Structure 1
């Protein structure tokens, strides 16, 4: 039987807006199995990024349950959630979220240092080599192109060898060729690490590379499609 890596049951999200509470997600029920590649698609404002953040415990569901690797994220305290993400999840954002005062090597080593790993910098250097930035390890984010910064962010997400990779529009700020290179790296991590990959995208070609595509509209699941080639 396939292992459920992510399992959402009747999950809802309500956030406070300027005009009062706003319902973002409505009763989402969804399972994602180990090793799957899942694309979240839909119009702007449909709740795609919010759903991804709920999956990662970065937004706390208002009701329902969100389980990752069998752990209910909705019942965890903030410290426990942070440790769980550190040990089991990698998150890649559209805007990179690198620490500007740290070199590429230091940025990638950070999650391993926080976990108390003695070989943090050695492993970080290996991961930068893997994404083709071995010669840029001593450069700061401001000295790197957008594509290079996203590669550093991807290396940082991958270096702990996460069970789950979450990516929110990972190619949104990049040109076509650079974006395709980042996508190849993401799917390569899925293949080499066996990491479950869930990504938000507006790009139909990127969505088609996923084994399953899930469409959201107005915070509700509308349909799910399996890729013809798996």
Structure 2
């Protein structure tokens, strides 16, 4: 296997090719009783600008599949290409650089840095990416999610809905072509969940990003171009809008 380093990963050109392509992808993890097959033979393509929902019962492999697509977990078999790059050939530094430039990730549990303000949390990936006006961009993204007045507050001073808005602003601030969301409304009440749904799609429309999300919420899945259901680590069904 050829492993690419940070400096050897060129910026991909946008083409008609799929943004994400999975070929016979498998994931096996070691459990207490031995190897456990989490994903089995997943083959899937996601096109530029598409919105895709991954659904299925708990334990079906949805979040594991999303983590593989984001290069946050390593495949046990098969191949994943994102924007023309085989993720399995990238070392950890190159994967981190690839995500920083090309992917925004929104987690169910927010993952905000507790000792940084909302503004600093959103500015962080911009600073890491070398953006000269990181704080100005971060302030604009906070305003876009309705939190322009909360930039100097720490995560503990924000409600769950506000924390998820900050996490969303942080994910989309670098304007990534791929946005991954793992149960983005899972920890929110109905009102805040609906607000996050609306924000996800409005920001996706604004930036033209490809949106791939894991969700148990049928109303959120129904807004996507395509819904894929997983069952026992395999693709069980596919519905197009």
- State the TM-score bracket (shorter-chain normalisation): over 0.9
Change (3 A) 1:10 1:185: same
Deviations 1:139-177 (A, max 9, x none): 000000000000000000000000100000000000001
- Which range moved further: 127-136 or 113-122? 113-122
Deviations 1:25-45 (A, max 9, x none): 001000000000000000110
- Which of 42, 52, 71 is the equivalent residue of 1:57? 71
SS in 2 for 1:13: strand
Deviations 1:43-81 (A, max 9, x none): 110000000000000001111100000000011100000
- Which of 218, 222, 228 is the equivalent residue of 2:236? 222
RMSD of Structure 2 on Structure 1 (CA): 0.9
Deviation of 1:90 (Å): 0.3
Answer yes or no: is 1:168 the counterpart of 2:182: yes
What are structure 2's unaligned runs of at least 5 residues? 1-14
Q: Which whole-Å CA distance do the structure 2 matches of 1:2 and 1:188 have between them?
A: 23
Deviation of 1:188 (Å): 0.9
Q: Which whole-Å CA distance do the structure 1 matches of 2:123 and 2:192 have between them?
A: 24
Look up the match of 1:68.
82
Q: Which whole-Å CA distance do the structure 1 matches of 2:34 and 2:180 have between them?
A: 29
Deviation of 1:3 (Å): 3.0
Q: Which whole-Å CA distance do the structure 2 matches of 1:75 and 1:16 have between them?
A: 22
Deviation of 1:2 (Å): 3.9
Deviation of 1:17 (Å): 1.5
Q: Which whole-Å CA distance do the structure 1 matches of 2:99 and 2:153 have between them?
A: 27
Q: Which whole-Å CA distance do the structure 2 matches of 1:166 and 1:99 have between them?
A: 19
Q: Which whole-Å CA distance do the structure 1 matches of 2:17 and 2:80 have between them?
A: 15
Look up the match of 1:149.
163
- Which of 69, 76, 91 is the equivalent residue of 1:77? 91
Number of residue equivalences? 227
Q: Which whole-Å CA distance do the structure 2 matches of 1:220 and 1:156 have between them?
A: 32
- Which range moved further: 15-24 or 76-85? 15-24
Deviations 1:206-228 (A, max 9, x none): 1100010001000000111001x
SS in 1 for 2:80: strand
Q: Which whole-Å CA distance do the structure 2 matches of 1:82 and 1:25 have between them?
A: 23
Answer yes or no: is 1:137 the counterpart of 2:151: yes
- Which range moved further: 12-21 or 214-223? 12-21
SS in 1 for 2:19: strand
Answer yes or no: is 1:205 the counterpart of 2:239: no
- Which of 78, 96, 121 is the equivalent residue of 1:107? 121
Runs of 4+ in 1 over 2 A off after TM superposition: none
Q: Which whole-Å CA distance do the structure 2 matches of 1:41 and 1:214 have between them?
A: 6
Answer yes or no: is 1:91 the counterpart of 2:121: no
What are structure 1's unaligned runs of at least 5 residues? none
